[in-house]
Structure 1
Amino acid sequence: METENSARLAVLIDADNARPAIVEALLAEVAKYGTAYVKRAYGDWTGASLKGWKDQLLTQSIQPIQQFAYTTGKNATDAAMVIDAMDLLYTDRFDGFCIVSSDSDFTRLAARIRESGLTVYGFGERKTPKAFVAACDKFIYTENLAYTQSVPRSPLRPAPDRSAEGKPWDDALLVLLRSAVEDSSNDDGWSHLGGVGNIIRKRQPDFDARTYGYLKLMPLIEATGLFDVDKRDPGDGNPMVVYVRNR
């Protein structure tokens, strides 16, 4: 996989057809393929059924798009998503779209976006109709999303008890580092340090190694004791290239 993917993505979520519990893992998955420049969730936010979305909208900086259900039995949310998707497509600002829904109504939309030469990533439950799945370049079942909160630490070598500032290691930090290394790795398990940093920035924009007492990402990674580090000399006077791997 690409160690640094600069693709500009638009993430459109059918909130009527997706669960808020998947959002954090969903956006972590999206970060593997590019940067989400647009994040929108569609639904009738005046209804009680979408109340669980509020915290995720705020935490993940997702723009809620209000769409009233004008009549019973008609899904106005789908139409609003399709219209916005086409408007965004015509701006020529994006390299791909992420369509989050298990609804077959988005099959033609996915096909149309691909006809324009853009990549379509679909996200939905296993019940998603095969036609929609096949219309996407890649489809990820939300049941398979690897929630970053559950990435285990290495059982072979625990992290030192404390960071350079003398504080106990933050479990969330260790999970972030390990998942970023795993998700940016090549088939041999090694990840370019630049690719690791790229994924970390996408998942946690406020990340700063200095928060933990280190000037750069590399010494922070080394200090945890959870990674193998390989500093490769490309020769011809070029700077050292650093690769890391989960232990």
Structure 2
Amino acid sequence: MQLSKFAVFVDLENCGAKVATLNSILEKVKIRGDILLGKVYGYTDKFDDLKEVLLSNTFTVVPSLRYGISQKNNADIQLVIDALEVAYKNELIDSFCIVSGDSDYTPLVGRLKSMGKFVLGISRSEAASTIFINACNEFQFLESVGKRNVEKPRKQKTNYNNEEMADESELNKLLTTVIEEQTDRDEIYASELKGTLLRLRPDFNEKAYGCATFYKLLMKLSSRFGDLRVHNDNFDVMVGLSNSGENSESIPQLTKDNWKDAFAAQIKAYKDGGFERVNPSILKADILTAYPDFNERAIGFKRFSDVMKQLEKDGLVVVEMDEQNTMLIKLL
């Protein structure tokens, strides 16, 4: 499989400039290929907490020096110039990730695509322009890029050391995410999975988890958590997601009694991630991830918009409409 070679350009003010958010963006890109070059724009002293993640990923920082309203777009212009320079001069890079939803970047996307480059756009839902979204080869909302925050309850089969369980649980979630990103395949070669894992976690070593080989580690995670399906196919080890072991009792359900708690938890997760507003479709997608059988009628509503209105009455959100008459919810 040919790995994509990415150049990543980040508008810090657009993405919210949170460490967890930036890490999630980098994880999303590294699952797809190698990051050969990265630049962030709009950097000021208020983003000092980003230093470690930027340095460890060898990103170049382009400071933001503002003077008056007329120069508010200086960082945007510099990003466009740098991206085009890379596209023309660096033949190794075949993919670009633009972290911004500003429609001003649409001509840049068009030029990159005309040069045969793949363009991945990432932005907050409240700041994403429909024009920019449609121009990209692929677009992801930041709220969806981050890790899902509402988790299914999990039955533990054996008592393990808490720290050990936490480490293996985190690894299991990461591997599950990598496989889920393979939209065109149901499973992945174990060797390919390990290669992706090493891009995400360069210090990864099976022995740290008490296993001599990656195959044994996969079998251990599969046995303990039940999310991974591991099998041999003509001497190749293949890894996919398992649907076995799930039944109506183990799948969490939303009812008229508990739905508000689930929505409140997800809204809190967005707020903790630095988001002030989100598109309701993002909220619904995250709820469906945790509760696959979710249905508005099951909790007493006809439409999802009615659910939003009830949350507004409960003081959790404020329903707003943007200039394009698209519903957004402000998190309280």
**What TM-score, normalized to structure 1?**
0.81
Q: How far apart are the structure 1 equivalents of 2:231 and 2:207?
A: 23
Q: Is the 8 A contact 1:28 1:203 kept in 2?
A: yes
Cα RMSD of the aligned pairs, angstroms, is 2.7
Distance 1:181 1:133, change over 3 A: closer
Q: Is the 8 A contact 2:10 2:40 kept in 1?
A: yes
CA offsets per residue over residues 193-246 of structure 1, 9 Å max, x none? 12321321221111111222222211111112133221012xxxxxx1111233
Report the identity percentage. 24
* 1:173 corresponding residue in structure 2: 171
SS at match of 1:88: helix
Q: Is the 8 A contact 2:14 2:124 kept in 1?
A: no
* 1:217 corresponding residue in structure 2: 214
Distance 1:132 1:26, change over 3 A: same
Q: How far apart are the structure 2 equivalents of 1:212 and 1:111?
A: 46
Q: How far apart are the structure 2 equivalents of 1:161 and 1:220?
A: 18
SS at match of 2:164: coil
* 1:78 corresponding residue in structure 2: 76
* 2:232 corresponding residue in structure 1: 231
Q: How far apart are the structure 2 equivalents of 1:104 and 1:69?
A: 21
Q: Is the 8 A contact 1:12 1:81 kept in 2?
A: yes
For structure 2, which runs of at least 5 residues remain unmatched after alignment?
243-332
**Aligned 1:139-218 pairs, distance under 5 A:** 139-147=139-147, 150=149, 152=151, 155=154, 158=156, 161-162=159-160, 168-169=164-165, 170=167, 171-184=169-182, 187=185, 189-218=186-215
The answer as to 2:11 corresponding to 1:10 is: no
The answer as to 2:32 corresponding to 1:37 is: no
The alpha carbon displacement at 1:44 in A equals 4.1
The answer as to 2:130 corresponding to 1:130 is: yes
The alpha carbon displacement at 1:175 in A equals 2.1
The alpha carbon displacement at 1:60 in A equals 4.5
Compare 207-216 and 65-74 and name the one that shifted more.
Answer: 65-74
The alpha carbon displacement at 1:69 in A equals 1.9
- Whose radius of gyration is greater, 1 or 2? 2
The answer as to 2:21 corresponding to 1:26 is: no
Distance 1:140 1:42, change over 3 A: same
Q: Is the 8 A contact 1:7 1:35 kept in 2?
A: yes
The alpha carbon displacement at 1:154 in A equals 8.0
Q: Is the 8 A contact 2:15 2:142 kept in 1?
A: no
For structure 1, which runs of at least 5 residues remain unmatched after alignment?
234-239
* 2:238 corresponding residue in structure 1: 243
Q: How far apart are the structure 2 equivalents of 1:31 and 1:154?
A: 29
Q: Relative contact order (C-alpha < 8 Å, sep 6+): which is higher?
A: 1
Q: Is the 8 A contact 2:43 2:61 kept in 1?
A: no
**What TM-score, normalized to structure 2?**
0.62
Q: How far apart are the structure 1 equivalents of 2:174 and 2:209?
A: 14
SS at match of 1:43: strand
SS at match of 2:232: strand
* 2:54 corresponding residue in structure 1: 57
Q: Is the 8 A contact 1:12 1:100 kept in 2?
A: yes
| Number of equivalent positions | 231
Q: How far apart are the structure 1 equivalents of 2:156 and 2:240?
A: 15
